[in-house]
Structure 1
Amino acid sequence: MVSMSSRMVEIADFPSVNLGNTRSLYVYLPPSYHVNTEKRYAVLYMHDGQHVFSADVTGESWEMHETADRLVSEGRMEEIIIVGIATVPHQRLNEYFHDNPRMHEVTDPPFAGEQYEAFIIEEVMPYMNATFRTLQGPEYTAMMGSSAGGIVTYNIGFRRPEIFGSIAVMSPFFVKTEFDTEGQLQEYPFYQRYGTHPNLRIWLDMGGAEGVFMEKYARVEAERLIHDGFVPGEDLMLFLDPGAGHSQRDWAGRAQAPLLYFFGHIGEPASIQLHGDSVVGINGPLKQLNPVITYTSGFVQTLMNGTFHVEDPDVLRVWPDGSITPRALGSTRMFLQYGGLTADKEMRVVDEMPEFVKVTVQVKVPPSTPPYPSIYAGFELPYCGEGLYRGSAMIPHGLTFAFKVSRGFGLHEKIGTSGLNRRSFTASSEMDLFYEVEDWDV
C-alpha cells in the first residue's frame, strides 16, 4: 500500500511582464499527484500567497494545505491544486484595485488591477497549465481572496467568468470607512458593481467582529446580487461569521466552507442558530437576525430568505431577510423553521436604542516605542504624550471590534503570552477603555 501525502512547491522570483516585477508562487499538490500520474486536477488561485500556507511577520497563515488534506482524507472534497500568489512589498493595494471613477474619490492611483488580472491570466495560468497537470475551463478554475484580495477576486470574477467559474470573496474591502475630526463615521463605497448575472458561483462572507468592515456591506451586496439574478443556496452563498475578526486566523477558520461549495459536498442541514441582538428599539437603528445553518459536512451559510413566526406579532415582525420591525413595547419569542430544523429566540422591544455610542480608547505603550503620530486600537488614536495614545469615536450601536493594537501594517502588539490572541469590545453603550501594550511582535 502506497502512502500518499500532499507536497508544496515554491516557484521563486516568478517574473511578470505585465507588472514589471517578480514574486513567489506557492503551489500545493494534492496527495495523489505524484502517484496517479495520469490524473488532472481543478485549480484554486489565491491572493496574498505568502499567508496561504505559512505565516510571516505581517500575518498568520490560512493553513490551506491542512484544510484541503483534511477534507480530502474525510472524503468530503475532491483533490485540487492550490496556487498562492504572493504580494510584492508596497504594491498590494495598487495591484488589488481596479480603476473605476469611485476609486479616484477615495484614494490616489496607480490602480494596477487590470495589469494584475492580466498577469494571472496571461502569465501565471499558462505556466501552471504547462508545468502541472491541471484541468482547464471555468468549471475547474476558482479564485479566493480576503479584504483587498476579496475586491480583486470580485472584479476578476465578474470581468472574466469565462475563465473563473467560482469566486470566494471573503471580508471584502468594498467600502472605505474613516472617522472625521469629530469622531463621526464616514462611509465611502468605492467598488464597481457590474449588475450582471454571468455563469459564476459566488461565496461571500464577513465576520461579525470586523469593526468597520461591517456585516451590512456583505449583506447589501448579497441582496444586490439576488436582484441581478443570483439564487441563494445555488450560485450564491452568504455567511456572516459570528464573532470573527479581520485576520488570517479568521479566514482560515471558515475556508473549508467555500472549498466544500466549489469542490466538494456540502451535505444536509444539521443545525440552525439565530444570531443577533435580542433587544430592539422602536426608535433606533435597524436590526437584523443572522440565521446560520450548519451542514453535516461542516459547511455553513447564512439563510437569506427564511420563514419566521412570532408568538406576539403585535410586538414585532421579522421579515424573510431577518430584518426586524418593532411595533410595541414588550417581549415575545420568535421561531425559524428550515428543512425540518427549528431555532427560536426571545426578543424584547424597548422605546429607544441609540444609533451611535461614544467609545473612548486609551493605550499605554512600552517606553521603547518610538513616538508614532498615531496607533490603532479598533480606530485611530493620536499620540498625547508620555507613551499614551487616546481617541474617541461615535461607533454604530452593536458594532464589535476584534483587534490587536497596531503601529501600522504588520506591526502588532504581542499578546499571545497572556492566553489571548486579540482584544475586543462591542459598542453597546458609552465606554471608556484602557489597554496597556506589554511588547510588540516586531
Structure 2
Amino acid sequence: MVSMSSRMVEIADFPSVSLSNTRSLYVYLPPSYHENTEKHYAVLYMHDGQHVFSADERGGSWDMHVTADRLVSEGRMEEIIIVGIATVPHQRLNEYFHDNPRMHQVFDPPFAGERYETFIIEEVMPYINQNFRTLRGPEHTAMMGSSAGGIVTYNIGFRRPDVFGSIAVMSPYFVKAHFDERGELNEHPFYERYGTHPNLRVWLDMGGAEGVFMEKYARKEAERLVQDGFVPGEDLMLFLDPGAAHSQSDWAGRAQAPLLYFFGNIGEPVSIKLYGDDIAGVIGPVKQLNPVITYDSGFVQTLMNGAYHVESPELLTILPDGTLKPRTPGSTRITLQMGSLSADKEITIIEELPEFVKVAIEVKVPPATPASPMIYAGFEIPYSGEGIYRGSAMVPHGLSFTFKVSRGFGLHEKIGDPQVKRRSFTASSDLELFYEVEDWDV
C-alpha cells in the first residue's frame, strides 16, 4: 500500500525476501520534486524509519523533513530524498547486528545484519530507484543511523563503499558496557574493525551525557580511522556533543551537521570552545579536552588535533589530541589557537583523583506500577520492595548521565514539570540520589 501527501510517502507492508518479513518505508521528497520533474536527487537512507519523520509511543521524532527543508531554504544544502526504513518489532538488534566472533561473546544469535544489508541494497534501493527520480552511485548515496542503527551503518558502509559514499554513525553501539551485580563496570567491545580506508566519508559522534555510551568509544574509533588513512576535516568528522543524551531529540538536534557535510556547504568556522573537566589529578584517570568548532552554517565538529599553549608548563602539559598530562598540583590556563580563533580554559591540578566514584540511587514508583525486577535510572537498579528500587555502582569519575527513569524499552516516566524533561547527574564525587516517578507514559 502506498499513501502519499504532496511530499511524504509511506510504502506500507514492504516485503523482504531476504528477511521474510514486511515493514513500512517512509520517503521524504524535496521541495522541488513535483515542480522540477526532470531533476534527479541524491538519497539518504536511514534506519529506525518510524522515528525519522514522526514520533510514536517508543520514541520521539528526528524531524528530518523539517531540518532538510530549512537547510534547503537557507541555501546551505542541495535537495535530497530521504528514505526511512522502519524496524520490525522484536527484530531490531537481530537485524542491526552483523555476525562476527566477538558478537557471540556478548549476545545470543541469530545475527541477521548481512541479510538486512542485502535487503537494503538488493530490495529497498532498486524499488526506490525505480519509483523515484534518484541519482545513482556512491557519491550520491548516504546512510545514517544511531545506537544499534549506528553500528549497522558502520558495517554496511565499510563493507559496501561501492554503494554508499557517506555514512553518519551516531552514538554507535560499539561496546556493551554495564554494571554487574557488584556495581563494577564491565566493558565488552563487540564491533568488527575493518582496518581499511575506502573511498568513504565518515561522520562519527557521541553525546557527552549518554552514560555508558561513552565519548571515549567514538574518539578511539576516530583515532583508529586516522591510523587507517582517514583525514580529520576531510573524509572524517568527529563530534563529541557536550551534554547530549542517548535520545532521538539529541540525534535530531545534531543531524543537520552530517546533512551539511554530505550534501551541503559546512561554511566557515566562527568560534571554538573547550569542553571537558576543569580538574585533573597527578594520579588518577586520564582527562581529555573536547574542542568544539562551530561554523556559520550551524555545522559543528570536534577538533582532533590542535595547537595548545599552557601558561604554566611546569604544572601541566597537553598533547595535540587534548590529553592532559598533569605534573604537580596548582592551577593554570590552557589556550587553543586555530587560525584567528582561540579558546581558553582554567585547569586545576590536584594530587589525586579517584578512578571511580560510588553513585547510590533510590527510585520510588507509583503503587500501580507493574512488578519488575529492575528499573533503569542511568543504570539498572534492583527492586527492594514496597515500590522502592535501590542500587549503586562504581562509576568512572566525570561520567555524565542524562535520562528518564524507565522500566523497559520505550516505557519511560512522565515528568510533570515541563522545565524538567530529563534527569541528569555527573559522577564527580560520591553521590546519593533519590528520584520519585509521578506517572508513566502510556
**Which TM-score applies when normalising by structure 1?**
0.98
SS of the residue aligned with 1:13?
A: strand
Aligned-residue offset at 1:375: 0.6
Distance 2:82 2:370 in 1: 40
Q: Please give the per-residue CA displacement for 1:246-287, whole angstroms capped at 9, x wherever unaligned.
A: 000000000000000000000011000000011100000000
Query: Do the aligned partners of 2:416 and 2:438 also contact (CA within 8 Å) in 1?
Result: no
Output one character per residue of 1:351-410: Cα deviation in whole Å (capped at 9) or x when no partner: 000100000000000000011111100000111000000100000000000000001000
Q: Verify the 8 A CA contact 1:330 1:349 in the aligned structure 2.
A: yes
Q: Is the 8 A contact 1:312 1:333 kept in 2?
A: yes
Deviates more, 1:335-344 or 1:112-121: 335-344
Number of residue equivalences:
438
Aligned ranges 1:17-416 → 2 under 5 Å: 17-416=17-416
Question: What SS does structure 2 have at the residue aligned with 1:406?
Answer: coil
Q: Provide the C-alpha distance between the structure 2 equivalents of 1:378 and 1:333, rounded to a whole number of angstroms.
A: 33
Q: Deviations over 1:75-127 (max 9, x none)?
A: 00000000000000000000000000000000100100000000000000000
Question: What SS class does the counterpart of residue 168 from structure 2 fall into?
Answer: strand
Rounded to whole Å, the distance in 2 between the matches of 1:407 and 1:171 is 22
For the residue of structure 1 that corresponds to 2:124, the secondary structure is helix
CA positional deviation for 1:218 = 0.2
Helix, strand or coil at the partner of 2:121: helix
Map Cα deviations across residues 195-251 of structure 1 (whole Å, 9 max, x no partner).
000000000000000000000000000000000000000000000000000000000
Q: Could you tell me how far apart the structure 1 residues matched to 2:440 and 2:151 are?
A: 30
Q: Deviations over 1:131-166 (max 9, x none)?
A: 000000000000000000000000000000000000
SS of corresponding position for 2:220: helix
Q: Which amino acid aligns with 2:398?
A: G
Q: Which amino acid aligns with 2:379?
A: F
Q: How many angstroms apart in 2 are the aligned matches of 1:418 and 1:235?
A: 40
Instruction: Determine the C-alpha separation between the residues in 1 that align with 2:17 and 2:166.
Output: 26
Q: CA deviation at 1:416?
A: 5.0
- Look up the SS of the partner of 1:411 in the other structure: coil
| 1:150 alignment partner, SS class | helix
Tell me by how many angstroms 1:6 deviates. 6.8
Q: Is the 8 A contact 1:318 1:324 kept in 2?
A: yes
SS at match of 1:408: coil
- Does the aligned pair in 1 maintain the 2:359–2:392 contact within 8 Å? yes
Letter in 2 for 1:394: M
Tell me, in whole angstroms, the C-alpha distance in 2 between the residues paired with 1:402 and 1:126.
40
Distance 2:201 2:439 in 1: 44
Read off the aligned partner of 1:176 and give its amino acid letter. K
Counterpart code for 1:39: K
**Cα distance change on mapping 1:339 and 1:416 into 2, 3 Å:** farther
Task: Note the C-alpha offset of 1:419.
Answer: 2.3
Mapped partners of 2:383, 2:144: distance in 1: 38
TM-score, normalised to structure 2, is 0.98
Q: Would you identify which runs of 4 or more consecutive aligned residues in structure 1 move more than 2 Å?
A: 416-419
Could you tell me the percent identity over the aligned residues?
79
SS of equivalent residue, structure 1 residue 392: strand
Task: Evaluate the alpha carbon distance shift between residue 416 and residue 113 of structure 1 in structure 2; reply closer, same or farther with a 3 A threshold.
Answer: farther
- Using the alignment, how far apart are the partners of 1:273 and 1:419 within structure 2? 26
The answer on whether the counterparts of 1:6 and 1:31 sit within 8 Å (CA) in structure 2 is: no
* Alpha-carbon distance between aligned partners in 2 of 1:148 and 1:215, rounded to the nearest angstrom: 16
